[in-house]
Structure 1
Amino acid sequence: MTEVQELATFVEKARLSDLSPEALEQLKIRVLDTLGVAVGALDAEPVNAIRGLLEDLGGTEQATLIGGGKTSPEKAAFFNSALSRYLDFMDAYLAKGETNHPSDNFGAVLAAAESVDASGAELLTAFAVAYQVHTRLSDVAPVRALGFDHTTQGAFAAACSAAKALGLDADQIANAAAMAGTANVALRVTRTGNLSHWKGLAYPHVAKEGVWSALLASRGITGPGEVFEGNKGFKDLAGDYTLDWSSEDLESVTRTIIKKYNAEIHSQSALEAVLDIRSREGFDPSHIDTVRLSTFDVAYSIIGGGEEGDKQTIRTKEEADHSLPWMLAVALLDGELNPGQYDPARIVADDVQELMAKVTITPDDALSDRFPEEMPAEVTVTLDDGTEFSAEKSAYDGFFTCPLDWDAARVKFNVLTAPFADQALRDEISDIVHDLDNRQVTELTAALAKVSTTRADGQS
């Protein structure tokens, strides 16, 4: 067999019973978390623009849009993935040379599953497949240092999971993965320099293409059979590696992490540290003189002002949630970092802009050696009278060493969804998700269609 056929055989054979009870519970928590951050973005300007475009384009009504309406599966995958990605509050997986967000695949899985009236158990199985494929390819074949985006490995995950949700056979799964993986090799410029809306839409595009490739494969369309090992295939890009899909399980979800703060994933422990400092007696954020952070090299490179660009010129939401100086400053001033901090006026406010200029970030080799098993950060804040406050953090609630339980996940879900769904609807969605292995996907999508697209206070 070719390598993509070996991957497809693994996907076809995957069963929900392959997951340990811990992995199944964590997978359901990821579903709830993904839906929470999706609902929380329903009034975002880019999301409204996309919804308007989809309404103008139309489409066969086979898959539900969160917040109401239906369209074709690939368009629903794009829209719902855009929702779950926009706030940048989703889960993540940390590999030494790559970071990805496996929950980005949920829009593809949900749309594909609903279009064939799949069971909740079939949806969960496909979602577990997405986690395994996405994380394991990132482990063995990172591409960030080569100038390519993590959505590159994600294309295989989106296609495999969508094909699994559609109930395709191994040959069709292989063709879907080959097409999507060949056609979606993405540039890392998506996340460097001055950031655009595409930062949050690059993976929705991949989710759409994963579903589209699976639909093409279902009609007999074929893709490059040697997409991995062939002449000028994926291994020519990523380098040679060995990955035995016959020995893989479905447990990777337990090694993923959930964000506690609405910020890029590598910032989470640093934010935990500055909020620890802010809570201490005698600390006054209005008297900060300097903020010094030592952290691991990946955090410095991506969000700290390293190789992926200056992080001191911040004007938009996309730039703010990828600027460690800005995030540290607003957290120290406001005592939190949630969607409210990304109000356009707050992003450019004088106090935030002035404080972020006082932040110095330095990569530390010893801390870098501890990543990704830990997410180490050492922070010292000095006040204008010379008083110093220091804190060190290597994890947080939601890291894989201290995973969220259902109750904690429900708290985050409630906070994000409350402006768009009343208590009864929040309970309904949560109850369906927790019992999803015994429900139909259409029960979940019917509940998601009832979520309001405007906030309870009438603000759009």
Structure 2
Amino acid sequence: MDQALEQITQFAVSVRPADVPANVIEHVTGILADTIACAMASRDCPGARAAAAIADLPRGPGGTVIGSTASVTLDMAAFWNTSMIRYLDYNDTFTGGHPSDILGALIAVAGARHLPGRTLLSGIAVAYEVFHRISLRHRSYRKDHGALVDYLSIDQGFAVAIGTAAGIAHMLGYNHEQTRTAVSLAATNGLPLRASRAGELSHYKGVATAASTRQAVFACQLAEHGLTGPSDPFEGRHGFIEIMEGKAGPMNLEPFGDWAVLRSGLKYFPATANCQIGIWAALKLREGLDLEQVREVVLHTSRFLRHESGSEPAKWAPTTRETADHSLPYVVAVALLDGGVTLAAYTDEKLSSPEVRALMRKISVVVDEKIEAEWPGTIQIRATVKLADGTTREVHARDPKGTYRNPMNRADIKIKFHHLVTPVLGQKTDSVFDQAWAIADADDCTRVFDQLVTG
């Protein structure tokens, strides 16, 4: 028996919405509100435009599309929603990925079925627990003598697809066999390459997980209508473990029990999670700093952060927002110049700014062995600046705002919600936020999503 498949299935089937603790419900309510805001601010992103152009009209009730009355298939609604959620790279972060991408599919399905708000929130919580455990297993980092020598090239869409299937199965009350099949199908067809986020990033980086959620919705539909799936997708012959490690064996998932979702975080700034700490370091460094006197800025950090956001040539010459918001030198330069990073940092004018480019050329990123030894438990950067007169300054930033050790509260999330949603909804943004925050008490979650439609 595939123990990993059985663990996930049993967890998704056994948890009832009423069983989910109040603090978990409140935490995922914040995730939902934050995710809605990210989607509403990206209603015209490339993925959304593509989805609108190719969507097929369904015969029955369509899936819910955030901010739209469009009637499209459930899988297309999942793709459309997730494209919007993901586009700004402003949504959550957890265990090396962005599980709120899953909400694109859960909202599509929950809205189509008019599920209670608490059932949607419970589905989110279940999906996060599954995502976390799959991510821990497939994103394995090995260190030999302090050096990062290997990490898997499977992207987060693998965990997104499996978490999505488990969350939908939970929300719709699938039986054991249906749930097992949905998860199995999602796993069997869910191995996306991390090439989508290497080099000069393309539009596909923003829709890679959208493709995963679409595939997971289809897997659930197949399972719901009686299709059977592979019996051992994780631990059996030609399963995940054999592909990754060369020999079939146990997945060794972290046991379900505690609610790991409570350790998930949100993003304070519109940039990849790796770069959040760089922005905070830049804000500390710029206090009383004359930028004209700066000759060199050195960012000391972990190997992973340098590898992902400060090692490729493209990160020093970004031409697209997809590359710029993953570039540590870019967001640090913008934060030093502007006192923060907003969506305005990714306009064509800003991307080509001679002032930004000149400051980026003074920035270098190096590995700090002490910081490396404490990663990933503590996220940090030690930033030093050398001035024209030969003097230096140094700051040390740890645990950026939004991480679980330094979480964003309801007031923080409301500020971000207003920043992203008010340009779309205007004066009714306050009431929409309040309704979203109270969704646990709604007998039909669509009452909240209906308020997001404009025109």
Give 1:233 deviation, angstroms: 0.2
* 1:120-159 equivalence runs, <5 A: 120-142=117-139, 145-159=151-165
Give 1:46 deviation, angstroms: 4.3
- Evaluate the alpha carbon distance shift between residue 314 and residue 334 of structure 1 in structure 2; reply closer, same or farther with a 3 A threshold: same
How far apart in 2 are the matches of 1:62 and 1:403? 36
How far apart in 1 are the matches of 2:432 and 2:176? 33
* 1:19-168 equivalence runs, <5 A: 19-54=20-55, 57-60=56-59, 61-68=61-68, 69-94=70-95, 99-142=96-139, 145-168=151-174
Give 1:114 deviation, angstroms: 1.6
1:430 paired to 2:429: no
How far apart in 2 are the matches of 1:30 and 1:243? 28
More deviation, 247-256/22-31 = 247-256
Q: Contact between 2:62 and 2:73, CA under 8 Å: does it hold in 1? A: yes
Give the RMSD, CA atoms, in angstroms.
1.9
More deviation, 158-167/121-130 = 158-167
Query: What's the secondary structure of 2:315's corresponding residue?
Result: coil
Give 1:252 deviation, angstroms: 1.6
Q: Contact between 1:92 and 1:102, CA under 8 Å: does it hold in 2? A: yes
Q: Contact between 2:385 and 2:393, CA under 8 Å: does it hold in 1? A: yes
* 1:211-250 equivalence runs, <5 A: 211-239=217-245, 240-243=249-252, 247-249=255-257
- Evaluate the alpha carbon distance shift between residue 23 and residue 66 of structure 1 in structure 2; reply closer, same or farther with a 3 A threshold: same
TM-score by length of 1: 0.91
Give 1:345 deviation, angstroms: 1.6
How far apart in 2 are the matches of 1:187 and 1:364? 29
Give 1:13 deviation, angstroms: 1.0
Give 1:285 deviation, angstroms: 2.6
How far apart in 2 are the matches of 1:152 and 1:423? 39
Counterpart amino acid of residue 226 in structure 2: G
- Evaluate the alpha carbon distance shift between residue 146 and residue 397 of structure 1 in structure 2; reply closer, same or farther with a 3 A threshold: closer
1:299 paired to 2:299: no
How far apart in 2 are the matches of 1:430 and 1:289? 45
Give 1:265 deviation, angstroms: 0.3
How far apart in 2 are the matches of 1:389 and 1:49? 48
Q: Contact between 2:38 and 2:88, CA under 8 Å: does it hold in 1? A: yes
Give 1:260 deviation, angstroms: 1.1
Per-residue CA deviations over 1:230-278 (Å, capped at 9, x if unaligned) read: 1010111344555467x51361211111111111101111210101222
* 1:185-204 equivalence runs, <5 A: 185-204=191-210
- Evaluate the alpha carbon distance shift between residue 331 and residue 241 of structure 1 in structure 2; reply closer, same or farther with a 3 A threshold: farther
Per-residue CA deviations over 1:344-399 (Å, capped at 9, x if unaligned) read: 12112111112111110001222122122210110112333334332111112211
How far apart in 2 are the matches of 1:25 and 1:86? 25
1:334 paired to 2:342: no
How far apart in 2 are the matches of 1:22 and 1:408? 17
Q: Contact between 1:65 and 1:76, CA under 8 Å: does it hold in 2? A: yes
- Evaluate the alpha carbon distance shift between residue 53 and residue 382 of structure 1 in structure 2; reply closer, same or farther with a 3 A threshold: farther
* 1:231-380 equivalence runs, <5 A: 231-239=237-245, 240-243=249-252, 247-249=255-257, 251-278=259-286, 280-281=287-288, 283-305=289-311, 310-380=314-384
- Residue 171 of structure 1 aligns with which residue? 177
- Evaluate the alpha carbon distance shift between residue 248 and residue 326 of structure 1 in structure 2; reply closer, same or farther with a 3 A threshold: same
Q: Contact between 1:142 and 1:238, CA under 8 Å: does it hold in 2? A: no
1:183 paired to 2:176: no
More deviation, 189-198/41-50 = 41-50
Query: What's the secondary structure of 2:365's corresponding residue?
Result: strand
- Residue 399 of structure 1 aligns with which residue? 403
- Evaluate the alpha carbon distance shift between residue 316 and residue 105 of structure 1 in structure 2; reply closer, same or farther with a 3 A threshold: same
- Residue 144 of structure 2 aligns with which residue? none
- Evaluate the alpha carbon distance shift between residue 250 and residue 446 of structure 1 in structure 2; reply closer, same or farther with a 3 A threshold: farther
How far apart in 1 are the matches of 2:82 and 2:421? 16
How far apart in 2 are the matches of 1:428 and 1:208? 31
- Evaluate the alpha carbon distance shift between residue 173 and residue 315 of structure 1 in structure 2; reply closer, same or farther with a 3 A threshold: same
Give 1:126 deviation, angstroms: 0.8
How far apart in 2 are the matches of 1:7 and 1:228? 11
Q: Contact between 2:102 and 2:164, CA under 8 Å: does it hold in 1? A: yes
Counterpart amino acid of residue 130 in structure 2: V
Query: What's the secondary structure of 1:390's corresponding residue?
Result: strand
- Evaluate the alpha carbon distance shift between residue 384 and residue 58 of structure 1 in structure 2; reply closer, same or farther with a 3 A threshold: farther
How far apart in 1 are the matches of 2:175 and 2:452? 29
